[in-house]
Each structure stands twice: as structure tokens, then as C-alpha cells.
Structure 1
């Protein structure tokens, strides 16, 4: 008996601001910079890359280039993207990290 699979597309699951925030929070908790960049890119595309580019002041090419797995955005680029998402960058201590 063959296993039937369906194609997974994150865009089908991050349509609301709440789901986008939860998705980004999960990526941030993981701590992998490539995963964080890819999550921001997924959210940018879910919101519409053209509109996201306009609001962030970043070009569409930049969004597609740096916010993907293996992308390497600068902290300034991440800050601009966060602002568009209604977020700000903060640092917090890791509980019980000695």
C-alpha cells in the first residue's frame, strides 16, 4: 500500500498576523540564523513581497536574496523587516544559562 502525501506550503498556514508572529517566534526560539531569515522571507511573501518591499524600504531582490534558507541579512535589514511586521528587536536572557 503506497503512502499518499500532499505538498506542504507554509504560505497556507501563515495568513494572519497572529500565525506569522507564532511562526517567527518559533524560528527565533530555534536560534538558527538561516531559519530566522527564511521565516521572515516566508512572512514577507505571505504579505506580498512588493508591498513588504515598499513598506520596509528594501528591494524585492533583497527580500528574495537574504530572507531565504542560507541568506545572510544584516541586523539593519532584519530590523527594517521587523518594523514592517510591527515588531522590534530585543534581547532577553536565556533562562538558566550559566
Structure 2
């Protein structure tokens, strides 16, 4: 029996919308940098950069640049990627006292 690497397993799980949403949300709670790494892995798992760029109506080069370690993407670009994959941002109170 061949063991899958962690990365292979993660990329497969990221093809599931529920897992992907939880993974991206968790990464965003850590930091913007962690979120961008997670988003890059999500794009890789769901067709790669070329397909992700086409679905998001971005150029492949722009997508590579924005998801690189030096990237500084605009919110509208991140929104385009998420929307193209049936995901969306959600803003919630950090704690319950703010919600009351």
C-alpha cells in the first residue's frame, strides 16, 4: 500500500468545497500571509494557475504575482478567485459581546 504525502492529501481535500472553505477561513484567522499561501494551494488543487486565472478573469501572470510570497493582491482580485470557485468572504464579530 502506497502512502500519500500530506501535500497530496491536502490538495485532494481542497477539492471539497466544505473543506476548502474551512481551510481558507482558518488560514485567514492566522494571518493574511497564511491566507495567501492557503489560497495558492487551493488554486493549485482546483485546476492550477492557468485555469484559476481563466475562471477569475485574471491573467495567469497576475494570478502568479498576487499569490507569490511577495504578492500584495487587491481585495477585488481575491474576491474574483473565491467567486469563480463558488466561495465568498464572510465577516463576523470576533466575539459574542460585539454581536449583542
Which secondary structure state, in structure 2, belongs to the residue aligned with residue 64 of structure 1? helix
Contact persistence 1:35–1:69 (CA under 8 A): no
TM-score by length of 2: 0.74
TM-score by length of 1: 0.75
Superposed structure 1 runs of 4+ greater than 4 Å apart:
none
Contact persistence 1:27–1:35 (CA under 8 A): yes
Higher helix share: 2
What RMSD, in angstroms, separates the aligned Cα atoms of the two structures?
Answer: 2.3
The Cα of 1:97 is off from its aligned counterpart by 7.2
Compare 81-90 and 71-80 and name the one that shifted more.
Answer: 81-90
Aligned to 1:72: 72
Which secondary structure state, in structure 1, belongs to the residue aligned with residue 80 of structure 2? helix
Which secondary structure state, in structure 1, belongs to the residue aligned with residue 63 of structure 2? helix
Q: Which runs of 5+ in 1 are unaligned?
A: 1-5
Which secondary structure state, in structure 1, belongs to the residue aligned with residue 94 of structure 2? coil
- RCO (CA 8 Å, sep 6+): is it higher in 1 or 2? 1
